[in-house]
Amino acid sequence: MPTMRYREALNQALREEMQQDEKVFLMGEDIGVFQGAFKVTAGLLEEFGEKRVRDTPISENTIVGMGVGSAMLGLRPVVELMTVNFSLLAMDQIVNHAAAIHYMFGGQVKVPMVIRMPQGAGHQLGPTHSHSFEAFYLHVPGLLVAVPSTPADAKGLLKAAIRDDNPVVFIEHETLYGQRGDVPENGGPMRFGEAAVRREGDDVTVIGISRMAITAQKAADTLAEEHEIEAEVIDPRTVRPLDLDTILDSVKKTNRAVIVEEGWPHGGVGANLAALIQEQAFDWLDAPVQRVTGADVPMPYSKPLEQAAFPHEEHVIQAVLATFRDL
């Protein structure tokens, strides 16, 4: 099985889908000549030309609006926004149009488009480039939301997103672009709404969102070595749709749950998931659900402050240990 970087897996998915379907095209800021802010679109302008790899002005609402219109007319646009923070400028088109048009037209019109968004802290890019906003889009019916943490998932889910007839918010953590991993040769699209059990265990369920799935796995290894606690680590891979069945089955086995996300603590993915676990698996819980989140502050630019503002392995370990304190 070949090994490649996260950005290479995304690039391969784009290339294969563009080769397969001439209706697929790309547009966004600096994706052509510059090859994208994180080089995900490297080589695609040369292969497919300016008609299918379009550099756009710096106007996010316009970019997404053009994507919505072209999708309504039968094309399959993949729109790249330079950072998830800039997607706030396109909220009208994403929420009021892309997500709603299929319903507004009684199912007669589809909006098959993908909106790719890098997000997350770790590169000292400050509060306008470093936040985690998957919870914003989780809230919106009509959207699908992917948060892949591995190169294999990045490729498989992007292929699935491009082929889906619904608008997809595709969130890529900025620190993962250089991450290496095995990617199946000739791998096809993955199914949305299927979580991955990254590590099996019987003592506690740890759910990690996006990059935090990797942090959760590292914490689980330390818990096993130093505390003899076997954590089961679940990576949801998509948060809308959410594979709640896999999560609940694990919680009913381990009787404990810890949710790890980089976003803010109020109204986040973890808060939503904690409520679902409490509602549907309360009788199986031996301890309150623990949440590990980013700090409730705008992301700092200073490296020490930035590092203090998002979760690390030790925070996950402490949250897991807290579920055992009453024993």
pLDDT by residue, tens only, the chain of 327 residues: 899 999 999 999 999 999 999 999 999 999 999 999 999 999 999 999 999 999 999 999 999 999 999 999 999 999 999 999 999 999 999 999 999 999 999 999 999 999 999 999 988 888 989 999 999 999 999 999 999 999 999 999 999 999 999 999 999 999 999 999 999 988 899 999 999 999 999 999 999 999 999 999 999 999 999 999 999 999 999 999 999 999 999 999 999 999 999 999 999 999 999 999 999 999 999 999 999 999 999 999 999 999 999 999 999 999 999 999 865
Query: Which tokens is 122 given?
Result: 């770790």
Residue corresponding to tokens 């791998």: 187
CA distances 43 to 36, 178, 205, Å, are: 10, 17, 42
As annotated, the active-site residues are: 60, 129
Half-sphere exposure of residue 178: CA atoms within 13 angstroms, side-chain side = 3
Q: Domains, the chain, ranges and CATH?
A: 3-182 (3.40.50.970), 196-322 (3.40.50.920)
b/e code 11-26 from CB counts within 10 Å (16+ = b): bbbbbbbbeeeebbbb
**What is the distance between the alpha carbons of residues 102 and 139, in angstroms, rounded to a whole number?**
17
